[in-house]
Amino acid sequence: MVFKKKIVTVGKSSIVRKQVEKKVSPRAASRNNRPAPPVVEEKPVIRTKGVPQVLRGMKDVLPAEQKFWRQIRHTAEDLAEAYGFERIETPILESTPLFVRSVGVQTDVVEKEMFSFIDRGGDNVTLRPEGTAPVVRSYINHGMFSLPQPVKLYYLGPMFRYERPQQGRFRQHNQFGVEVFGDENPVLDAEIMLLAHLFYRGIGVSSVVHVNSLGCSDCRPRYREELVAYYRSKRSQLCEDCKRRISKNPLRLLDCKEDGCSALKEEAPQILDSLDEACKEHLMKVLEYLDDLQVPYVLDPHLVRGFDYYTRTVFELLPEEGETKTALGGGGRYDGLVEQLGGRPTPACGFGIGLERAILQMKSQEIEPSQNDTPDVFLAQLGDNARRKAFVLFEELRVAGIRLAGNFTKGSLKSQLEIANRLGARYTVILGQQEVIDGTILVRDMESGMQEIVDSKKAVSELKKKIGRG
């Protein structure tokens, strides 16, 4: 098959790829020089002297927030399992050397952001700051290399980083991630980008993928030399952290959010110019697959990630709409990490998405969760005998699959009807002393106010008919 080719030029670099029309918003096409998100303090509504307060950078997820959490968790689980990923859960607490060896000694995560301590047994342990390294450790520990490859895993859970609390970023944050082991085919790079994009589409948020290649151990040294030479000539304009990183870990300079360093990045050498033929071919195929899958993307030649284990493909998701330029998630390929941690040479790739940021995007775009938590039926009771019968009836209706709510403490019918109205229930079942004696229930249509007496033995079937499930 012959493709019509064109040269797509980005800055000083070019890469050959097939010609495809792409629609990307102007906002999505401008990632560089994005401002750091504002620092925010999560403060409890009530502060009373002597009463314990939530720690800085932590937050309580209150009942009103749960509808957002239910939707994003269901979206993540359904999507991952539809694409053949199996769930894995790893401990929150891991050995500190796991992250030092994987994430990298010179990274901000290891240098500044890990919650690490010596436990009572004398071991150096860390609350996991990210999800990939623990999953890699589990892959090695449990001999998953003997399973049919690729092995596709996903996880949901909390991560911990000691960093400045910012909008959508907390010291304890929840993450959805996927990892694929045992295959270096570029179609898998495209597949995980598709999944990340579909996750956001599933919660109503439009996203654009920013993608780059970091090359491999063969071609990266050439780029490293060019980068060091460039930044040494600009050393006086760098922040103190970047001055220290010039010789130790120059790629980290491209990830610095300080204004001065971020501006210098615009004229820095681009790694696309240094890629060898194998890495160019890999990137070209990834982009072609993204075209075929109709995933909107921007080729971003200065994109790097905050962890040292990435090779070849790296990517981030940015919102297509809204003011923020903060990444909504990201990932890439890490073909050397399994071997680096003591396993067999195993190609791998994956991504992580911060769920707090996903919810922040939903709120900023005024997207209401589609998960229906509104009860179809509210169960009201009047009197002790009715309360006892109401418990039994409540369980019968629940087992029958009817969405319902109830209150077993309020004595006033008026107060219970107010609760039913507030919850948006379609019907209220009223069970009083007379209904207990007669073996009936009173079904009230909350919209029309009409009431109907129903035999209690037919309560389940009649209510299912009314709500359209019978």
Is residue 139 located within the same domain as residue 69?
yes
Classify residue 266: in a domain, yes or no: no
Last residue of a domain, one of 364, 393, 412: 364
Which of helix, strand or coil describes residue 201? helix
For residue range 244-282, what is the model confidence (pLDDT) as tens digits? Answer: 777 777 777 787 777 777 777 777 888 888 899 999 999
Q: Are residues 18 and 96 in the same domain?
A: yes
Domain termination site, one of 307, 329, 364: 364
What region does 265 belong to: left with phi over 0, alpha with psi -120 to 50, or beta?
alpha
Residues 396 and 301 in one domain: no
The CATH number given to whatever domain includes residue 126 is: 3.30.930.10
What is the CATH classification number for the domain harbouring 393?
Answer: 3.40.50.800
Looking up tokens 């390929």 gives 333
CA–CA separation, 204 and 321 (whole Å)? 11
pLDDT value of residue 3? 33
Determine the Cα–Cα distance for residues 443 and 98; give it in Å rounded to an integer. Answer: 60
**Burial category of 356 from C-beta neighbours within 10 Å (exposed 0-12, middle 13-18, buried 19 and up):** buried
Contact 337, 136 (CB under 8 A): yes
Same domain, 342 and 215: yes
Range of the domain at 440: 377-466
User: Cα 52–57–61 angle (5° rounding)?
Assistant: 75
SS3 382: coil
Give yes or no for a contact between 380 and 417, defined as CB atoms under 8 angstroms apart.
yes
Q: Is the peptide bond before 165 cis (omega within 30 degrees of 0)?
A: no
Whether 33 maps to a domain, the answer reads no
Q: Cite the beta strand spans of 265-368 per DSSP E.
A: 297-299, 311-319, 329-333, 348-354
* Separation CA 206–CA 167 (nearest Å): 19
The pLDDT of residue 323: 53
Tell me how far apart the terminal alpha carbons of the chain are, to the nearest angstrom.
55
Beta carbons of 212 and 302 less than 8 angstroms apart: yes
Token reading at 278: 């194998």
Shared domain check, 389 and 337 = no
| In-domain check, residue 166 | yes
Residue 277's nearest CA partner among 462, 84, 15 is 15
192 and 78 within one domain: yes
Beta strand 151-160 with 172-181 is: antiparallel
CA 81 to chain centre: 15
- Any domain includes 308: yes
Question: Of 333, 364, 395, which residue sits at a domain end?
Answer: 364
Do both 73 and 94 map to the same domain? yes
354 occurs within a structural domain: yes
Q: What is the pLDDT of residue 242?
A: 82
Assigned token pair, 439: 């073996």
Distance CA(396)–CA(459), nearest Å, equals 9
| Entry field: residues in the chain | 470
Q: Which two tokens stand for residue 348?
A: 């791998």
On whether both 300 and 393 belong to a single domain, the answer is no
Same domain as 127, residue 64: yes
**Per-residue model confidence (pLDDT) at position 237:** 80
43, part of any domain: no
Pair of tokens at residue 110: 């290891």
Does one domain contain both 419 and 358?
no
pLDDT along the chain (470 residues), means of 10: 35 38 39 41 61 90 90 94 96 95 83 92 95 97 96 97 83 96 96 95 93 91 83 80 78 76 79 91 96 93 83 92 75 95 96 94 87 83 87 90 85 88 91 91 92 92 84
C-beta of residue 331 within 8 angstroms of C-beta of residue 317: no
Residue 203 maps to a domain: yes
Is residue 94 one of the residues assigned to a domain? yes
Tens-place pLDDT, residues 71-126: 999 999 999 999 999 999 999 999 999 999 998 877 778 888 899 999 999 999 99
Question: Number of structural domains, the chain?
Answer: 2
